[in-house]
C-alpha cells in the first residue's frame, strides 16, 4: 500500500476518481471506474490499462491476490476508508475494490477485421444494464466484437461496466460510429447484417446462421425504426412459442448470438471434417 489510509472524501485523489462517474470527465480524462473484484481482476490482465487501485482494509485481506497482482504490475494501490469507498462506489453495498482504468475501445476497423464471424451492433441501446449484459453475452458466445454506435449508452458507464462482469476487458469494443456507417463498415468486412426485431417475417428457425453475421439490436422500448431495418440484409424475429408478448433486449440478444455461435461452430466443424453430417 502507498502511504496511509485515505479517509477524506474531499482529497484531490478521491475527487479526481469520483468525477469519473460523469461521462464528460470520463471522455476528457479517457478513463473510467471499474468496481468490484471481477472487473478489477480482468482489468489487470491487460497491460497498462489499470492506472490505480483503491481498496479497503477488508478487501485488501479478502482479495489479497488481486491487490498483490496490482502491486506486482506497478499499479499504485491506495488503502481507503469505508466512507471513501462509499463515495467512489456506485452500488449500495460496495465490494471494497475500485480501479481507475484507461479506455480500452478500439477503432471499428480494428474491432471488426475481415476474419470476424460474429459481431453485436448496438443501435440506440440506452439502458446501461442491458448493454453490459449484451456485452457479457457476446463474450460468452465467442463473438469477435461489440459495437456501441454513437446513439447508444457509454460502455464506460458504471452500471454497464458492472453488468459486463469483466467482459469489457475480454473482446474488442468499438464506440461512437453512426449506425449507418457502422453497418457499411461491418458489411465491407464480409459480414451480413441481421436485424433482430419482432416485426421480422423470418424467424431464427428459417435463417441459415452459419455465415459470418453481425446482429443489429435496437432500443429497449421501441426496437429498430424503419430506416435502420432497411439497413439490414434481413429482419429476423425470435419465435415465441408460449404466451409471452415479447423478450427483453438482453434475452433476445442472448438467443440470437448463441443461435449464430452454435450454427457457425457446426459449419466450421463440418468444413474441417466433411464426413460429419450437418445437424
Query: Looking at the whole model, is its pTM more than 0.75?
Result: yes
Confidence of residue 277 (pLDDT cuts 50, 70, 90): low
Specify the pairing of strand 173-175 against strand 145-148.
Answer: parallel
| The three grid cell numbers given for residue 71, joined into one nine-digit string | 502491486
**At the topology level of CATH, where does 12-102 sit?**
60s Ribosomal Protein L30; Chain: A; (3.30.1330)
Q: Is it the case that residue 278 has pLDDT exceeding 60? A: no
Rounded (10°) angle between helices 249-272 and 128-140:
20
Q: Is it the case that residue 1 has pLDDT exceeding 90? A: no
- List pLDDT tens digits, range 76-111: 999 999 999 999 998 888 999 999 999 999 999 999
Q: What is the pLDDT of residue 271?
A: 55
**pLDDT, averaged across the chain:** 93
**What are the domain boundaries of the chain?**
12-102, 108-272
Q: Is it the case that residue 114 has pLDDT exceeding 90? A: yes
Confidence of residue 220 (pLDDT cuts 50, 70, 90): confident
Kindly provide the b/e burial profile for residues 160-171, where b requires at least 16 CB atoms within 10 angstroms of the residue's own CB: bbbbbbbbbbbb
Question: Which residue, among 259, 165, 253, has the nearest Cα to 211 in the 3D structure?
Answer: 259
For residues 77 and 44, the answer to whether their CB atoms sit within 8 Å is no
| The three grid cell numbers given for residue 18, joined into one nine-digit string | 469520483
Q: What is the pLDDT of residue 279?
A: 43
- List pLDDT tens digits, range 131-169: 999 999 999 999 999 999 998 999 999 999 999 999 999
For residues 104 and 156, the answer to whether their CB atoms sit within 8 Å is no
Q: 108-272 architecture in CATH?
A: 3-Layer(aba) Sandwich (3.40)
Q: What is the pLDDT of residue 272?
A: 57
Q: Count Cα atoms within 13 angstroms, Cβ side, for 62.
A: 11
Give the span between the Cα atoms of 148 and 106, in whole angstroms: 11
Amino acid at each position: 500500500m502507498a502511504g496511509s489510509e485515505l479517509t477524506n472524501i474531499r482529497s484531490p485523489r478521491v475527487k479526481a476518481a469520483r468525477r469519473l462517474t460523469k461521462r464528460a470527465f470520463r471522455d476528457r480524462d479517457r478513463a473510467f471506474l471499474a468496481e468490484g473484484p471481477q472487473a478489477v481482476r480482468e482489468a489487470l490482465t491487460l497491460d497498462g490499462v489499470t492506472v490505480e487501485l483503491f481498496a479497503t482494509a477488508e478487501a485488501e485481506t479478502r482479495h489479497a491476490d488481486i491487490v498483490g497482482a496490482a502491486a506486482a504490475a506497478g499499479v499504485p494501490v491506495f488503502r481507503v476508508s469505508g466512507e471513501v469507498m462509499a463515495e467512489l462506489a456506485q452500488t449500495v453495498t460496495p465490494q471494497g475494490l475500485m480501479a481507475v482504468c484507461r479506455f480500452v475501445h478500439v477503432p471499428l476497423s480494428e474491432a471488426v477485421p475481415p476474419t470476424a464471424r460474429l459481431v453485436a451492433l448496438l443501435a440506440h441501446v440506452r439502458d446501461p444494464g442491458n448493454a453490459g449484459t449484451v456485452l457479457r453475452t457476446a463474450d460468452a458466445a465467442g463473438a469477435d466484437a461489440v459495437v456501441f454506435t454513437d446513439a447508444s449508452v457509454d460502455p464506460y458507464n458504471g452500471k454497464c461496466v458492472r453488468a459486463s462482469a469483466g467482459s469489457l476487458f475480454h473482446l474488442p469494443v468499438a464506440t461512437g460510429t453512426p449506425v449507418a456507417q457502422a453497418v457499411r463498415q461491418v458489411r465491407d468486412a464480409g459480414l451480413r447484417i441481421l436485424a433482430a426485431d419482432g416485426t421480422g417475417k423470418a424467424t431464427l428457425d428459417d435463417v441459415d446462421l452459419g455465415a459470418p453475421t453481425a446482429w443489429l439490436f435496437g432500443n429497449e422500448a421501441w426496437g429498430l425504426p424503419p430506416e435502420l431495418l432497411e439497413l439490414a440484409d434481413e429482419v429476423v424475429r425470435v419465435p415465441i412459442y408460449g404466451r409471452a408478448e415479447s423478450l427483453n433486449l438482453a434475452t433476445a440478444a442472448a438467443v440470437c448470438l448463441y443461435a449464430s455461435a452454435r450454427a457457425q461452430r457446426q459449419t466450421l466443424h463440418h468444413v474441417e471434417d466433411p464426413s460429419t453430417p450437418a445437424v
